[in-house]
Amino acid sequence: MMLPPLSFNAWLRHDLIWHALEGIDVSTVLEIGAGGGAMGARLAHRYSYVGIETDLESYALARNRIEETGLGRVLRGDLSALEAGAEFDLVCAFEVLEHIEHDDLALKEWCERIRPGGWLLLSVPAYQRRFGPSDREAGHYRRYDPMEMPRLLGASGFVEPRMWLYGFPLGYPLEWARGVIARWKRGTATMSDRTSASGRWLQPPEWFGGVTLLSTAPFRVLQRAFVDGPMGTGIVVRARRRA
């Protein structure tokens, strides 16, 4: 079965997401903000998967890619769409937290959906000083400084944080290009509308998946030398819920 295409930037974080999943005990996964299901389809091949997505268009695409192929379930809505008391070994959210005004409250809600001792896996854009037009266009409230992440996670019920920076060097020109496009668009939509549309913005068509895969391959190898340093445009974060 052919997997859905990932964007250039999604391929850069893809390798670190799988690296973060190595060696941890996971069988059930909840993805918050599944978007069009490109990453969810990959997770659903390995784990018992549930995704939730608020945007109707993205939900329909994710459902077609995941649920209708028998790989997992996709629900439309927020956490209230889940069964009461449902818990998972892993809750993940990729490029989601920055869209939420009160991120500390969101993390506490997500923590309640993780079994004691289970795992949280996030990706977020790095460094508030890099906040720019593409962030505004996507509906971001903020970016994240790596030194601040342990404090935020600790206050929300998580321990053992691990972080990896991704996106050096390719992420920088990609971010610049998104900024140019965002300036040209000059959208006036609300934060909610921009957030809803962000999962569809600049996503590759099905036929373009091989291009993004092959063209990012050397950069995915190159960035491995820098994941523990300060350079990069995004952060992959793993933490454990207190037992």
If one counts the domains in the chain, the total is 1
Residue 160: inside a domain: yes
CATH number of 233's domain: 3.40.50.150
Residue 178 covered by a domain: yes
Entry pTM: 0.96
2 falls within a domain = no
Render pLDDT for 95-149 as a digit per residue (tens, 0 to 9): 999 999 999 999 999 999 999 999 999 999 999 999 999 999 999 999 999 999 9
What is the average pLDDT score of the chain? Answer: 95
In tens, the pLDDT along 70-110 reads 889 999 999 999 999 999 999 999 999 999 999 999 999 99
Residue 117 lies in a domain: yes
Residue 70: what pLDDT?
84
pLDDT digits (tens, 9 = 90+) for 187-237: 668 888 899 888 998 899 999 999 999 999 999 999 999 999 999 999 999
Q: What is the pLDDT of residue 71?
A: 84
Note down the domain range covering 47.
Answer: 8-241
Residue 3 placed within a domain: no
Question: What is the distance of C-alpha 232 from the center of its chain?
Answer: 16
Report the pLDDT value the prediction gives residue 184, as an integer from 0 to 100.
Answer: 83
DSSP letters for 55-103: -HHHHHHHHHHTGGGTS-EEEESSGGGSPTT--EEEEEEES-GGG-SSH
Q: Is residue 62 part of a domain?
A: yes
Residue with tokens 């996503």, as numbered in its chain: 203
Does 224 reside within a domain? yes
Q: Is residue 1 part of a domain?
A: no
203 vs 199: CA distance, rounded Å: 8
